[in-house]
Amino acid sequence: MKTRHHFNTEIISRISAKQIDLLYNHQPVSILSTIFVISALFFFLYTPEIEKNLTAIYLYFWTTIILRFFANWHYLKNRKNNTVNIDKAYKIYLAGIIANGIGWSLIIFLVFPTVNLAGEVLLLIAVMGFSAGAHTTLGFKKLPLISFAFLLTVPLVYVVYHSELPNATAIIIAIIFQAIFVLRSSLMFYNSTYTMLGLIEIAAQRERELKKQTAEANSANKEKSEFLSRMSHELRTPLNAVLGMNELLIRDSNEPLSEKQAARAHKINNAGKHLLSIVDDVLDLSRIEAGCINISLGLTDCQTIINESIKLIENKAIAKEITITSEISRAEAYAIADAKRLKQVIVNLLDNAIKYNKHGGQVKITLNAYNESFIRISVTDTGYGIPQESINKLFLPFSRLNSEHIDIDGNGIGLSLCKQFAELMNGNIGLECQQDKGCCFWIEIPRAKQKAHIPPDEKPNYPDTPINTTKNNNRILLVEDNEINREVATDMLEELGYEVDIAVDGKQATSILADKSYALVLMDCEMPVMDGFTATKKIREEEKQRSQNQEKIIIIALTAHAIGGTKEKCLDSGMNDFLSKPFSMPTLQKKLNQWLPDNSDPDNNDNKSDTPH
């Protein structure tokens, strides 16, 4: 019989090894069965006349049995040591089966003609029964099975043919049909086990390939995360220089810009911030694709998020004379969401509603806790609308439809990000629109079952670190390897009234701090010689060695990395806070006022830590 499955050479080799293993696993049963049947025949057929032949055959069987037991033990030992020679093991097994079959042939030829009718019937039953049962232990390979069946069936047909048994012809036909039936059943058993073993090997091979692919995918994701981290740093570092220098030009009171120069500087500032938003959006999209985005679901006050989002976008609305109104259906509406990402989605929807609106139009944002499961936030505008045939493309990355024809800036990433964030928060996003009559974008997010206590924002702080409150200490150590960014930060700090010392790497910073005291350290994270993380850990260790009661220096990280986990890495290294590049002078001032209250302007003092973008 032919198998229906065709396997490659490697799988066939593994199937063969499994078959040999199964043969040896079942051989002890075959040996024990042989001992039992031969012993029974010796007991029932023994007569003084055939004692010599029967004893010789009995000794022959015991010799083959001992050799087969030894071969089985040797195979199992080699299997345990993983030193099995498959071809050799198969030949030894086949030799044992042939020797066993020869023993049965000897019984048939030497004993059958010398016993009475009862003995002949007993031998017929024993031989045919043993032949029928052989396929359960021999059926994993064809050759042992066929050889054993041949060595039992042919001698039996021969002696029956030459015997004086009544109806000898009918008995021979029965023996032949029984042999054919046994052989057919055995081959079916062989084909089934062969196919099963092949499919098991294919499954195992695919599992190995899947594990390999998973490992490669994990490695690729790791490399992609590292690439994103590098790109974040490489893109945001020069942006910090561009925006920082431009801000210093705008704020320079000693050499003020002309009206025309100031207008150009403001355009540079707007273009730089637009470029920064594109960089952030591309990095967010890439992080989502790489599975590196962090979503922190928790109880979120949707009304507060909406109010904060409107404040962030209202200047754009004023510039286009667009009116923003809000409608809150419930005084309290809490969702299970990531507050930062939810705000990002709402700001994006509001920004689009203003950007794609008509001059002097309207934008309405609605909060509706319309059932017990979801909260819907809708943003409706009076803009140009979207053709129905284009709606399916709207949430695809970099899809801007026909917006380029109406002279509107954009990169086509925002709505794709909104969809991704909505789904990551177990929600959904959609829209309803009519061309030339505006659109209504909505996001649905899971509703909280009940209001719970929402803890206030906590200022990150190095554990058990006393805040340095030395009065009139306005000297700051700036640790930065990039020359332009050093100049930007130095000019901003001096403009704010601080004295600045410079270190170009972490090693130089630790040496300076060993001799001088500072109100605060601004520590870049990525630097040659010694990075900011290593330098901070070393500073903290030296502080512990000097004195337990000594005030610990405040260290604020300066980093261009926007990858999730960077802030946690900074705080874990011993830094007190985190300031992301590019930063503006008001942001820097707010951070310094927060940590140096004695030098802060009371009107600007804020005890809440900025959330890094």
Contact criterion met (CB below 8 Å) for 536 and 514: no
Closest CA to 493 of 579, 432, 424: 579
Long-range contacts of 98-102 (CB under 8 A, 24+ apart): 98/147, 98/148, 98/151, 99/64, 99/67, 100/34, 100/61, 100/64, 100/68, 100/148, 101/147, 101/148, 101/150, 101/151, 101/152, 102/151
Chain segment 319-341, per-residue pLDDT in tens: 889 999 988 766 567 899 998 88
SS3 227: helix
Q: What is the pLDDT of residue 225?
A: 63
458 pLDDT band, cuts 50/70/90, is: very low
Q: What is the pLDDT of residue 50?
A: 86
Closest CA to 61 of 32, 81, 21: 32
Domain 475-599 homologous superfamily, CATH: Response regulator (3.40.50.2300)
Closest CA to 554 of 499, 608, 477: 477
Q: Does the pTM of the predicted model rise above 0.95?
A: no
Q: How far apart are CA 137 and CA 152, in angstroms?
A: 16
Q: Which of 144-148, 186-190, 467-471 has the lowest mean pLDDT?
A: 467-471
Q: How many CA atoms lie within 13 A of 164 on its CB side?
A: 6
569 pLDDT band, cuts 50/70/90, is: confident
Q: Which of 131-140, 211-220, 427-436, 595-604 has the lowest mean pLDDT?
A: 595-604
Reply yes or no on whether the pLDDT at 472 is more than 70.
no
Mean pLDDT, the chain, whole residue set: 82
Reply yes or no on whether the pLDDT at 287 is more than 90.
no
Reply yes or no on whether the pLDDT at 363 is more than 50.
yes
Contact criterion met (CB below 8 Å) for 326 and 378: no
CA distances from 356 to 193, 364, 410, 444, 609 (A): 68, 14, 10, 22, 34
Chain segment 151-171, per-residue pLDDT in tens: 989 999 999 988 888 888 998
Q: Report the 10 Å Cβ neighbour count for 410.
A: 17
Q: What is the pLDDT of residue 606?
A: 40
SS (H, E, C) 447-498: ECCCCCCCCCCCCCCCCCCCCCCCCCCCEEEEECCCHHHHHHHHHHHHHCCC
Tell me the percentage of the chain whose pLDDT exceeds 90.
24
Q: How far apart are CA 361 and CA 380, in angstroms?
A: 11
Domain 298-446 homologous superfamily, CATH: Histidine kinase-like ATPase, C-terminal domain (3.30.565.10)
Long-range contacts of 21-27 (CB under 8 A, 24+ apart): 21/79, 22/140, 22/193, 23/90, 23/93, 23/137, 23/138, 23/140, 23/141, 23/144, 24/72, 24/75, 24/76, 24/89, 24/93, 26/136, 26/137, 26/140, 27/68, 27/72, 27/93, 27/96, 27/137
Q: What is the pLDDT of residue 479?
A: 94
Q: What is the pLDDT of residue 356?
A: 85
Q: How far apart are CA 570 and CA 195, in angstroms?
A: 58
Q: What is the pLDDT of residue 437?
A: 81
Reply yes or no on whether the pLDDT at 99 is more than 60.
yes
Reply yes or no on whether the pLDDT at 115 is more than 80.
yes
**Is the sign of the CA dihedral 241, 244, 247, 251 positive or negative?**
negative
Reply yes or no on whether the pLDDT at 179 is more than 70.
yes
Reply yes or no on whether the pLDDT at 270 is more than 60.
yes
Q: What is the pLDDT of residue 608?
A: 36
Closest CA to 303 of 343, 363, 338, 341: 343
Q: How far apart are CA 109 and CA 553, in angstroms?
A: 103
Reply yes or no on whether the pLDDT at 467 is more than 70.
no
Q: What are the residue boundaries of the structural domains of the chain, listed by start?
A: 9-212, 235-289, 298-446, 475-599
Reply yes or no on whether the pLDDT at 403 is more than 70.
no
